[in-house]
Amino acid sequence: MNEELTWKVRQEADSKACFYWRKDGQLVRSAEFTQSELEVECERLCAAGTDMTQFVLALKLLALSRDS
């Protein structure tokens, strides 16, 4: 089985990062995070030793979207 993680930032009144996990092309999980929620999730992933590269990128984009 091949697992893929994709994400996007929804820039609405309350910007959120939306994450999608797919296995063999099928959506198996999704989650939405505000900037503060994503900061907590990054801390959790770091403590668990999980690769958090995509989460940090989304967090940066969320921060930029709030500044504009």
Dihedral, 29, 39, 36, 13 alpha carbons, nearest 10: -60
Q: So what's the pLDDT on residue 36?
A: 94
Q: What is the side-by-side order of every strand in the sheet holding 3-10?
A: 3-10, 16-23, 26-33
Cβ atoms of residues 43 and 63 within 8 Å: no
pLDDT band with cut points at 50, 70 and 90 for residue 13: confident
Q: What is residue 2's predicted lDDT score, i.e. its pLDDT? A: 76
Predicted pLDDT at 3: 84
Report the predicted TM-score, pTM, of the whole model to 2 decimal places.
0.85
CB-count exposure of residue 58 (10 Å: 0-12, 13-18, 19+): buried
Which sequence spans correspond to the domains of the chain?
A: 3-67
Write out pLDDT tens, residues 16-49.
999 999 999 899 999 999 999 999 999 999 999 9
